[in-house]
Chains A and B, each alone.
Chain A
Amino acid sequence: MSSLGGGAASNSIPTISAAVSSSSLASKTSASNSSDALSSSNRQLLTTIQIVQQKFKENENVLSIFEAYQIIGQEHTSRILCLVVSVAGGTYAVFSMAASRLPPRSCSDLTIDKVFPLNESFCMGNDRKGSISQLQFTLKCSDEQPVKYFYYPLSSDNDVVDFDTFQAQVTSAKMSMVLSPSESTALSFAWVNDYRQIGEVKQEMKRREHEYIKYKDFTIYCATYNVNNKSYIDSPLHLWLAASEDAPDIYAIALQELDTSAKAITFSENRPDYMWIMKMLESVHDKGEYEELTSVRLVGMMLTVIVKREIRSSITRHNVKTIARGILNTLGNKGGVAVSLQLNEANLCFVNSHLAAHMGFVEARNEDYHGIVKGLVFDDELRRTINDHDHIFWIGDLNYRIEEPPGLQLPVARSTAHSAEILLKYDQLRQEMRKGNCFEGYTEGPINFRPTYKYDPGTDNYDSSEKQRAPAYCDRILWKGSRITQLAYNSVMDIRQSDHKPVYAVFRVSIKTRDDHLYKKVHEEVLKLLDKRENESQPQIIVEKTIIDFGMVRFNETVVSDFTVSNACPMQVGFEFKRKDPPLNAICEKWLRVEPWKEKLMIDSTKSIRVKLSANVDSITSLLQKIRTTNWKFDFDILILQVENGPHIFITVTGEYKPSCFGLSMETLCRTDRPLCEYDQQQIKDLMNDESPEFRVTMPREFFLLIDYLHKQGPKVEGAFTLDSLEFKHARNVEFNDIRDWLDTWSNNEFPGTPQAAAEALLMLLHLPEKPLLDPYVDDLLKTKTTAEAMELVSLLSSPKRNVFVHLCMFLREGIERKYYNGMHVATIFGRVLLRSTKKSDDYYRDINCREFMQRFISNGEMSTLSSSSSSASSATGSHHNHHRATTPVAKMKNSASNASLSGGSTAAVDSS
């Protein structure tokens, strides 16, 4: 599979590249390689395709993107369509995304609103008719309505391919899956579901955020100190870190110049300094219990986040990142370190930066700032930048100085006479911020403390060295984001080990917090709403009737009924009749035809469905079996009309079967005491299920009537039994139903057909019962070697079967003897009928075997054996039949049958011995 996914992916790249300008391609490759590349290149060049890519997982690759829009109501809504391959699944899908701005600037501007897996049913239609629809196309997959999109003839973004390219890529992606059929593993579209179901709930939850979000105040304490290479300072840090009245919830403590030795710089020292961290933990507010959450260090810069134990569990995520802005942007003596964390529902970012030094390097500082903002990307699942946070605190030695106003001698800042207010007028940071050159969107609180740099260590005196550096507000704390209130901002004069004074700021931040109770409530509501949507979007079909009553249904007659189905919903809907379980494995029983069995209904349309029922030679056997075995009221069938993605509707096909002799077993026929036309379905069912050994007659009257008729025809029966007799051609004519009625009424009228039709009726009578005449000894009989052996088994048959068999053989033998029909043919067809296999395997040798078996009974040589067995069968009745030995078989048979039928119920127990 990997070869498929990977191969196709790399194939598609050249096509995409062709559509992208070379400059953006270059930035794309450099930016996507690694985060190092990101930090050094300009992050604003992150291309749309890269932003889209961020929506997906690691081995899901965005192959191309395409700009489109949808018209929803009166509104045009922008969509970004992208073709994505899952390397693991080896499959493709087109995703449609709503973009809150175009081009998107981060992946949070995008929401996936629809997914189209490129499965078999996927189809991208482009109907180039009309003016606006020229720019229209549809995407569709399996169970859904096609979704209509429009595209712009010219696209604004270099990343975006044109329509023809996009369509070609989608088509070739789909083809590639068809062409390389799944090898060992099946193509999997499972990955697509991650974006489908879950998305909807999350999106809805996001939309209703205001219902379960409340704001909870947290105190955040930011502190910064340039420690001037003092590795450990035994100073009263609590003055710096515990200056607030209440114990803060979170500390972000920034240090600079922890170690600026060449060694530390060269090896980009990044191990947090635990001596310092211990010292901090000792010095934080003593009204709370604290623990270190995380620390991050790059050479001289270290940022440590310390949290109150009780809120630790509210922090669900934290990440750190460093970025070097020293010489060539690789050395870590300058730059930034940052911590990103999620507190309840809010994302917080703390940045500690040490920007370029020296009075004249304002530009460099601004550049450093921008470099950090653009280049610092956290390695979290969303690849957040600093600006992707709700609350940002920028702490550090920003190194901005106080400009020397022209005309004023001596560094203005040196004079303690000047208030902070005047000094700040000349503060470079404030000036640059006003000009919009850096820290856009950041706020800094009022400064009511002296410049924090540069002091003679151990004193509160400004630099007295030769350099006489001008004092400056190097150490600053700024913030960005809503619901932040600064409670304090100050420096600490009494800590004197460094040439900087430490600075701290205390904030109250209202943190977006989920009310679990409300959240649960809204969550359930959202789930219910989606259920409701799902339930209500089910297509509906109205069926004209759910019961089709055919009334009286007769053997060998076809009845037809039509009913309509109408679309009852505002969209096209498909339906089909559902296939039933094996053994049936079809949409309906054998005796039914349903047309059409599958259909699509346009809006407001109605279709007619035809149901045909015929209880004929092909189906009567199973129909009678079903009647016999149905416990409850019998229905011909129940069709399941399955609305695509909707309910199932049961359509009952009912009626009453009018019994006929065809298909009934010899035993059942021998239990009748009147013509079959006088029975109803229930009575015949009871008769079929009657297992008593009592029979009213020795053999079925209907059998006798046919044999008798044929016998009387003499030479006219010539050719009545041929090899194609089993095709039952006569039964396909309506005239055949006269024969049916003649038999079912025990008619005294002349036989209403030809001898050939009578011969066929005889075969049908023997062929259509559920079990063959020689059941249950078929297999045993076929194994017998001698007729005598076979006769022993025959004598074990039920008496109706035995009598029918014996008399049939005698009758056939007579016909063959008189050369009315071909003995070979007769043996073949009756072999097939009487020894019919109940298993489905139609074996050639078995066929021969059956024929040979039959030949033994109907050829001349066996006459005596059969006669004797016949008489023995008859003698079993214990009656006066013994003396019939000399009479012709048919004459004898006629006697016994008519005798039996005449004697009726009273002497029914002919086999009672």
Chain B
Amino acid sequence: MATTPRSGGSAGGGTAQRPNGTSQSKSCQFKLVLLGESAVGKSSLVLRFVKGQFHEYQESTIGAAFLTQTICIEDTVVKFEIWDTAGQERYHSLAPMYYRGAQAAIVVYDIQNQDSFQRAKTWVKELHKQASPNIVIALAGNKADLSNIRVVEYEEAKQYAEENGLLFMETSAKTGMNVNDIFMAIAKKLPKNDGANNQGAGAGRRLNENENNRQTTNCCK
């Protein structure tokens, strides 16, 4: 049936009631992955960021959980698809499956655990080698509420981050300190053109589909 030509714009969906030129904000979707040794507080950071909660007895993650959280910066709506991974070393070999295609990563260590800081460094190395080349990496020195018994000095980590082009913050999932901020900082650093949007759309929950595509292309070669 014939449609009536319209002048510009879409009348799509819920836009009907509020077509407002100025309020139309850009929206982007990014896949973000959390990496780091077990018990450094990856799940706790996600829980704080997404639900504003903290559990003293957070169970160790055995798998990978997917959560979404949207934030607004300036006029851009940034939707994060967050993959919280299992930090236990035995699951290390599965990590690439989760950081592949991610536009951002938060590598977490525990400021009272030197080993976890070393482990964070190897994660950063691995990401630089194997993740997508323009991945935005943030280093989070977690459990900053326990800074009186810290072993990893702020300056040391800060310098390491600078040398390696990482965002850096000390965070506390317990108090909430810098938790939103680190995600904000990442969102600010991520490119928010249309390309980024498309990239993100394929990731996340549709990880599976995405992979099938990738495999088909491999087969065709």
Stretch at the interface among A353-361, A523-531, A778-786, A873-881: A523-531
Q: Does A333 contact B (CB under 8 A)?
A: no
Q: How far is the CA of A652 from the CA of B60 in the complex (A)?
A: 14
Q: How far is the CA of A61 from the CA of B89 in the complex (A)?
A: 55
Quick one: which of B12, B51, B67, B70 contacts A57, CB cutoff 8 A? B12
Q: How far is the CA of A54 from the CA of B11 in the complex (A)?
A: 7
B11–A194 contact, CB under 8 A?
no
Q: Does B160 contact A (CB under 8 A)?
A: no
Contact string against B for A residues 12-51, beta-carbon threshold 8 Å, 1 for contact and 0 otherwise: 0100100000000000110011110000000000000100
Given A316-B22, A379-B7, decide whether A531 and B50 contact each other with a Cβ distance below 8 A.
Answer: yes
Q: Does B217 contact A (CB under 8 A)?
A: no
Q: Which residues in A have their C-beta under 8 angstroms from that of B4? A: 32, 34-35, 53, 383
Q: How far is the CA of A645 from the CA of B65 in the complex (A)?
A: 10
Q: How far is the CA of A201 from the CA of B68 in the complex (A)?
A: 15
Stretch at the interface among A106-114, A322-330, A472-480, A676-684: A106-114
Q: Does B97 contact A (CB under 8 A)?
A: yes
**Chain A residues proximal to chain B, CB less than 8 Å:** 9, 13, 16, 28-29, 32-35, 49, 53-63, 107-108, 110-112, 194-196, 198-203, 205-206, 316-317, 319, 342, 345, 379-383, 514, 519-520, 523-524, 527-528, 530-532, 534-535, 538, 546, 578-582, 585, 632-633, 635, 638, 640-642, 645-650, 652
Q: Which residues in B have their C-beta under 8 angstroms from that of A642? A: 208
Q: Which residues in B have their C-beta under 8 angstroms from that of A379? A: 6-7
A381–B92 contact, CB under 8 A?
no
B17–A108 contact, CB under 8 A?
yes
B18–A381 contact, CB under 8 A?
no
Q: Does B15 contact A (CB under 8 A)?
A: yes
- B interface, by DSSP: helix, strand, loop or mixed? mixed
B1, B10, B12, B50 pick with most chain A CB within 10 angstroms: B1
Q: Which residues, 1 to 53 on B, are CB-close (under 8 Å) to A?
A: 1-23, 50-51
Excluding A196-B13, A528-B70, 11 further A-B contacts by CB distance (< 8 Å) are: A32-B3, A112-B14, A203-B13, A317-B19, A383-B6, A531-B70, A535-B50, A640-B63, A640-B94, A641-B63, A650-B64
Q: How far is the CA of A519 from the CA of B75 in the complex (A)?
A: 12
20 A-B pairs with CB atoms under 8 Å apart are: A53-B3, A56-B3, A57-B6, A59-B3, A62-B1, A111-B14, A199-B14, A202-B15, A205-B14, A381-B6, A381-B11, A514-B23, A527-B72, A528-B70, A531-B69, A578-B208, A633-B89, A638-B94, A648-B66, A650-B94
Q: How far is the CA of A754 from the CA of B65 in the complex (A)?
A: 55
How close is A401's CB to chain B, nearest CB, in angstroms? 39
Closest to A115 in B: B13
Q: Which residues in A have their C-beta under 8 angstroms from that of B64? A: 647-648, 650
Given A108-B17, A205-B18, A524-B72, decide whether A55 and B93 contact each other with a Cβ distance below 8 A.
Answer: no
Q: Which residues in B have their C-beta under 8 angstroms from that of A13? A: 1
Quick one: which of B22, B62, B70 contacts A649, CB cutoff 8 A? B62
- A interface, by DSSP: helix, strand, loop or mixed? mixed
Quick one: which of B13, B20, B69 contacts A528, CB cutoff 8 A? B69
Q: How far is the CA of A379 from the CA of B2 in the complex (A)?
A: 17
Q: How far is the CA of A61 from the CA of B70 in the complex (A)?
A: 33
Given A63-B1, A531-B50, A632-B92, decide whether A650 and B66 contact each other with a Cβ distance below 8 A.
Answer: no
B3, B20, B65, B89 pick with most chain A CB within 10 angstroms: B3
Q: Which residues in B have their C-beta under 8 angstroms from that of A56? A: 3, 11-12
Q: Which residues in A have their C-beta under 8 angstroms from that of B208? A: 578, 642
B218–A582 contact, CB under 8 A?
yes
B63–A649 contact, CB under 8 A?
yes
A382–B19 contact, CB under 8 A?
yes
Closest to A378 in B: B7
Q: Does B129 contact A (CB under 8 A)?
A: no
Q: How far is the CA of A63 from the CA of B21 in the complex (A)?
A: 30
A647–B14 contact, CB under 8 A?
no
B3–A345 contact, CB under 8 A?
no
Q: Which residues in B have their C-beta under 8 angstroms from that of A34? A: 4
Closest to B22 in A: A316
Closest to A34 in B: B4
Q: How far is the CA of A278 from the CA of B11 in the complex (A)?
A: 37
B65–A647 contact, CB under 8 A?
yes
Query: 6 nearest interchain CB pairs?
Result: A202-B14, A199-B13, A381-B9, A527-B70, A649-B63, A195-B13
Quick one: which of B13, B22, B62, B65 contacts A202, CB cutoff 8 A? B13
Given A32-B4, A316-B22, decide whether A650 and B16 contact each other with a Cβ distance below 8 A.
Answer: no
A57–B94 contact, CB under 8 A?
no
B6–A58 contact, CB under 8 A?
yes
Q: Which residues in A have their C-beta under 8 angstroms from that of B187? A: none
Q: How far is the CA of A412 from the CA of B20 in the complex (A)?
A: 52
Q: Does B77 contact A (CB under 8 A)?
A: yes
Given A535-B67, A647-B65, decide whether A55 and B16 contact each other with a Cβ distance below 8 A.
Answer: yes
Given A59-B3, A62-B1, A199-B14, decide whether A635 and B90 contact each other with a Cβ distance below 8 A.
Answer: yes
Q: How far is the CA of A381 from the CA of B10 in the complex (A)?
A: 6
How close is B41's CB to chain A, nearest CB, in angstroms? 19
B7–A381 contact, CB under 8 A?
yes
Q: Does B205 contact A (CB under 8 A)?
A: yes
A650–B2 contact, CB under 8 A?
no
Q: How far is the CA of A382 from the CA of B18 in the complex (A)?
A: 11
Q: Which residues in A have their C-beta under 8 angstroms from that of B16? A: 55, 107-108, 110-111, 382
B8–A648 contact, CB under 8 A?
no
Q: Does B140 contact A (CB under 8 A)?
A: no
How close is A169's CB to chain B, nearest CB, in angstroms? 13
Q: How far is the CA of A582 from the CA of B208 in the complex (A)?
A: 14
A527–B1 contact, CB under 8 A?
no
Q: Which residues in A have their C-beta under 8 angstroms from that of B93? A: 638
How close is A527's CB to chain B, nearest CB, in angstroms? 4
Contact string against A for B residues 48-90, beta-carbon threshold 8 Å, 1 for contact and 0 otherwise: 0011000000000011111111111000010100000010011
Closest to B7 in A: A379
Quick one: which of A107, A580, A585, A632 contacts B11, CB cutoff 8 A? A107
Q: Which residues in A have their C-beta under 8 angstroms from that of B14? A: 111-112, 198-203, 205-206
How close is B90's CB to chain A, nearest CB, in angstroms? 6
Q: Which residues in B have their C-beta under 8 angstroms from that of A16? A: 1
Q: Which residues in A have their C-beta under 8 angstroms from that of B165? A: none
Quick one: which of B20, B71, B91, B205 contacts A342, CB cutoff 8 A? B20
